[in-house]
Amino acid sequence: MPASKASLALPILAGVMWGSIGVFVRFLDAGGLDNGTIVCTRMIASSVILGAFMLVKDRSSFKVPKRAVPVLIVGAVVGSAYMNIVYNVAIMNLNLALSSVLIGLFAIWSLLLGRVLFGEALTKRKVACAAVALFGVVLISGVLEQGAAASFSWFGLFMGVLTGMMYAVNGATTRAMSNWGMKASTINFWYFAIGSVSLLPLCHWDQVVSYVAADPLASSFWLISQAVACAVLPYVLFAMALAKMDMGTASTLELVEPAAAMVFGLVLFGEIPTPLMVVGVAVVIAAISRIYAEK
């Protein structure tokens, strides 16, 4: 499927926005919101925004086939809501670039799920690319550099790897429902809505009230912006990209996410990447792009 130069910017912008998640998480955490509250408020705002758009454009988009309900719940709870909870833990324990790369490794775990659930071929080339991507993660982690291993968070690494696995569940459930004819807007709305309900026990509304009361304008901006920039808009942009190009091209261009996260970490938090980290990001992007190229 040929894509215009303008349409190529869609998945790139989506990747940059997803790469900014760590920025919002750290700012909101500094404002007194805990992990569950950050994710729950993001998903509530996202479901309201996307739901309002669907009400205006096409109310039939809310309908879900009965056979898709169990799959939708698994994708919403495991692959969306609690995946973000785990991802935020990784963000608070690792640099932004490594956190973003680890969630990007969902492409590797998707190979295994694709083999089990959809009978997809697991070729030697895909396995080799997966091994190269994992080596890139080692470079980004900094554990090969003198003195870095002692201060490295292995717990953060574990949570980052778990994030990628959970996001692979998101990809598998999304693919299954797409094969049944469900629209991207329908899937994402119910991911946000069901996910937010599952997170209500972890949401502390007293924290939200205190946060907003301290500076109503700025606080409201951050709460709404995290939903728009980290959830609604990137999903919309990526869905638009898929309508104009093949999945492999869109997914490859979206891989600017870890590079964007590295830039955000450098500019906003003084996370200066070493040469090995920069090489590691390039290695991971190249390896995963080859995986998508073979699909």
The pTM score is 0.86
DSSP 6: T
3-state SS, residue 225: helix
> Could you read off the pLDDT tens digit of each residue along the chain, which spans 295 residues?
455 677 888 888 988 999 999 999 999 999 999 999 999 999 999 999 999 999 999 899 999 999 999 999 999 999 999 999 999 999 999 888 888 888 878 778 877 777 777 777 778 888 888 888 888 888 887 766 755 555 678 899 899 999 989 988 888 888 888 888 898 889 999 999 999 999 999 999 999 999 999 999 999 999 999 999 999 999 888 878 877 776 667 777 777 888 889 899 999 999 888 888 889 888 888 888 887 776 5
DSSP 244: T
Question: CA 54 to CA 1: how far, in whole Å?
Answer: 27
The beta strand positions in the chain, using DSSP E, are none
Question: CA 140 to CA 159: how far, in whole Å?
Answer: 16
Angle, helices 35-57/184-199, rounded to nearest 10 degrees: 140
pLDDT value at residue 148: 56
pLDDT value at residue 104: 79
Question: CA 190 to CA 176: how far, in whole Å?
Answer: 15
pLDDT value at residue 293: 72
Q: Left if phi > 0, otherwise alpha if psi is -120 to 50, otherwise beta: which for 147?
A: left
Run of H or E residues at 255: none
CA 172 to chain centre: 14
pLDDT value at residue 147: 58
Run of H or E residues at 29: helix 21-30
> Given the structure tokens 């750290």, which residue do they identify?
26
pLDDT value at residue 294: 63
Cβ atoms 169, 116 nearer than 8 A: no
Residue partners of 97: CB distance under 8 A and separation at least 6 = 140, 258, 259, 261, 262, 265, 271, 273, 277, 281
Cα four-point dihedral sign 101, 106, 109, 115: negative
Question: CA 52 to CA 65: how far, in whole Å?
Answer: 21
pLDDT value at residue 112: 79
Task: Tell me the CA distances in angstroms from 104 to 29, 35, 177, 196, 289, one per residue in order.
Answer: 23, 21, 22, 23, 11
